């Protein structure tokens, strides 16, 4: 029997009354559970196996089976504030889908678990700072071995003393003003300003540009083959949630 904390990344119906739940667990990485009777109103698991819920689960681990039977599940954090905020919810779903598609399977993912649990908790706070999702993208890149050096020009190697003049998501390098010279930068000014605030630890204003650059960087390094479907929804939600430009 294994008792571990878990975060539900994805859930889909299986027969009339059951769910299949894919969860990131603290002990065993990503595990697929079959939850018999999970769809019934009187299910003992209540909200513990809702997508994005943090729960404590007990299950018998059978390494030869694709699906594990869950014995107990109790909710620790349902993240109700996060769920009430469309934009935060969209970001959390992109996080869940990225982990599901890109995290290594069949191995413990303690760092990923702790990053995800912390980030969901922060997003759940009503006064969550704008940079949480960018921080998660940056830390997750780091955890998967794709380090981004936010403070150095990738061409001349000098420390940056102001926002970089350009960023390439393909190589993951920043360029200083001297090295960019007269060439036109590919990165938007908002993206570069956002990276600078992440580096300096100051509040981020227009998070979406830097978030997109980080997603693009990660996808370039992990592979384009697996599309993240919830990204489309994030883009739509941003349009709905952003105040019109004045
Ligand atoms: Zn340089």
State the pLDDT at residue 122. Answer: 97
Ligand 1 midpoint to CA 202 (Å): 23
- CA dihedral for 124, 128, 130, 131, sign (positive or negative): negative
Ligand 1 midpoint to CA 162 (Å): 12
DSSP element (H, E) containing 18: strand 18-25
Which of 240, 138, 156, 142 is closest to 199 using CA atoms?
A: 138
Ligand 1 midpoint to CA 76 (Å): 48
The domains spanning 2-78 and 81-241 adopt the same CATH topology: no
70-99 pLDDT, tens digit each:
999 999 999 999 999 999 999 999 999 999
Residue 246 clears pLDDT 60, i.e. is over it: no
CATH number at 81-241: 1.20.1440.120
> Residue 89 and residue 236: Cα distance in Å, rounded?
12
Architecture of domain 2-78: Beta Barrel (2.40)
Residue 37, phi-psi category: left (phi > 0), alpha (psi -120 to 50), beta (remainder): left
Ligand 1 midpoint to CA 153 (Å): 5
Using N-to-C axis directions, what is the helix angle for 207-222 and 189-200, rounded to 10°? 90
Domain ranges of the chain: 2-78, 81-241
Ligand 1 midpoint to CA 137 (Å): 25
Ligand 1 midpoint to CA 170 (Å): 18
Model confidence at 240, pLDDT cuts 50, 70, 90, reads: confident
State the pLDDT at residue 12. Answer: 93
Going by the DSSP 8-state scheme, the letter that residue 160 receives in this structure is P
Ligand 1 midpoint to CA 184 (Å): 15
94-116 pLDDT, tens digit each:
999 999 988 888 899 999 999 99
Going by the DSSP 8-state scheme, the letter that residue 49 receives in this structure is G
123-142 pLDDT, tens digit each:
999 988 999 999 999 999 99
């Amino acid at each position: 029997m294994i008792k571990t904390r878990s975060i539900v990344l994805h859930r889909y119906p299986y027969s009339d009354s059951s769910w299949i739940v894919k969860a990131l667990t603290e002990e065993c990485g990503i595990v697929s559970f079959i939850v018999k009777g999970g769809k019934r109103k009187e299910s003992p698991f209540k909200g513990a196996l809702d997508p994005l819920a943090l729960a404590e689960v007990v299950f018998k681990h059978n390494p030869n089976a694709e699906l594990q039977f869950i014995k107990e599940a109790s909710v620790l954090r349902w993240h109700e504030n996060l769920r009430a905020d469309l934009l935060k919810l969209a970001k959390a779903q992109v996080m869940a889908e990225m982990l599901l598609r890109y995290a290594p399977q069949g191995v413990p993912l303690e760092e990923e678990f702790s990053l995800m649990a912390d980030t969901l908790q922060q997003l759940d706070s009503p006064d969550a700072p704008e940079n949480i999702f960018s921080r998660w993208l940056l830390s997750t890149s780091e955890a998967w071995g794709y380090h981004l050096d936010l403070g150095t020009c990738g061409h001349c190697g000098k420390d940056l003393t102001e926002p970089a003049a350009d960023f390439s998501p393909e190589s993951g390098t920043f360029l200083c003003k001297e090295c960019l010279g007269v060439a036109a930068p590919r990165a938007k000014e908002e993206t570069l300003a956002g990276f600078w605030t992440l580096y300096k630890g100051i509040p981020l204003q227009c998070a979406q540009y830097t978030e997109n650059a980080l997603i693009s960087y990660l996808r370039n390094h992990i592979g384009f083959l697996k599309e993240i479907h919830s990204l489309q929804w994030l883009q739509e939600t941003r349009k709905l949630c952003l105040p019109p430009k004045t």
